[in-house]
Chains A and B, each alone.
Chain A
């Protein structure tokens, strides 16, 4: 699997108008969705360093909670409420990362990232689950289920912690698969995973 792209959330968990804070390899990111489109940025307002994940989405733009600086989908600041008549210079921008959605997941890419890995065309989201472990053996770990297959993707939060993202290909009882994912969490945290 290409390491250019890392899955960091289930698409379902960031519906329109929602911000979500994510930590990837110790870096703080914000995922937000406006007008249907998901964005992944550094979780930091360029004005005063406030976490943008504490802000709010309005009119398809992300607003910083601190002074209301508003950033559009292009990540450029489009409005500074304290200077309502100012045309904001284009150099004032949030730090945006390549973003895409596939397989029910939101992915963040390296600059110039290549193609996404092959993914199941249709998936049912299960859970994102924090697990105290250094990593699991394979990106896209699979477990066969009655009538379907659980794909477990993950990203490393920081040393000693990962976030699993489970999606089902085919059909299965989602609540039972959620319980299975929590069993996997327990196995990793107790150091007994196969």
Chain B
């Protein structure tokens, strides 16, 4: 059975929990004491992921790190129809948003760690970067909505939406509200309506 090394408050672990729920993949979890125990930096966890980060996902004898890579793996192995990771011209766009979700948007995560867990860091600078990332998403989604769409790429939800969703929603924890983002507001409701959707602390699973 697949296994997720998990921290319940982690938006990156939540990407994996959400995708497995949407795909109906059953798996076991091992709770890691990320805070305050720093168990992700323990020798046992560093042996699984030398980067000392969560999530780590074991499946088919593979030990995978990086939430975006795990989303690709899940879609590749557990979605034979290929709707969550389309192989046509949408593929490159999906990859582009995955890179953004693991890159620029992680400023929201960093701001949240400072704000919620008291991690060291320049909160205002991180919030400013987070807002710039949120604006990029808002501009993209508002163009999609003007064109009659709703999802980040194409006419159906993809792992691009699942990669973007957690830290967009958890921005509240970092002190970044959604007042500036009407298109994000409409998109996030559709994500929460997906069959099999699960929430996490800070992301209600009903509407």
Contacts and interface: CB of A to CB of B under 8 A. Distances in A.
A184 interface: no
Interface of A: 9-10, 13, 15, 18, 20-23, 54, 56, 65, 126-128, 130, 157, 163, 174-175, 178, 182
B139 interface: yes
Given A13-B186, A56-B207, A65-B204, A21 B179 contact: yes
A18 B147 contact: no
B186 A22 contact: no
Interface string B158-184: 000000000000000000011111110
B142 A54 contact: no
A13 B146 contact: no
B179 A175 contact: no
Given A157-B179, A163-B180, A175 B185 contact: no
Interface SS, A side: strand
B33 interface: no
B79 interface: no
B124 interface: no
Contacts of A163: 179-180
B204 A20 contact: no
A18 B150 CA distance: 15
B143 interface: yes
What is the interface residue range for chain B against chain A?
Answer: 10 to 19
Contacts of B181: 130
A71 B207 CA distance: 15
A18 B142 CA distance: 17
B146 A175 contact: yes
B189 A18 contact: yes
Given A130-B180, A157-B179, A163-B180, A20 B185 contact: yes
Given A56-B207, A175-B146, A178-B143, A18 B186 contact: yes
Give 7 nearest A-B pairs by CB, closest first: A130-B180, A13-B182, A23-B179, A56-B207, A128-B182, A21-B179, A174-B146
A13 B185 contact: yes
Given A23-B177, A163-B179, A175-B143, 8 more contacts: A9-B182, A54-B204, A126-B146, A127-B142, A157-B179, A174-B146, A175-B146, A178-B142
Contacts of B142: 127, 178
B206 interface: yes
13 contacts: A9-B182, A13-B185, A13-B186, A20-B182, A22-B179, A56-B206, A56-B207, A128-B182, A130-B181, A157-B179, A163-B179, A175-B146, A178-B142
B204 to A, nearest CB: 6
Contacts of B186: 13, 15, 18
Nearest to A130: B180
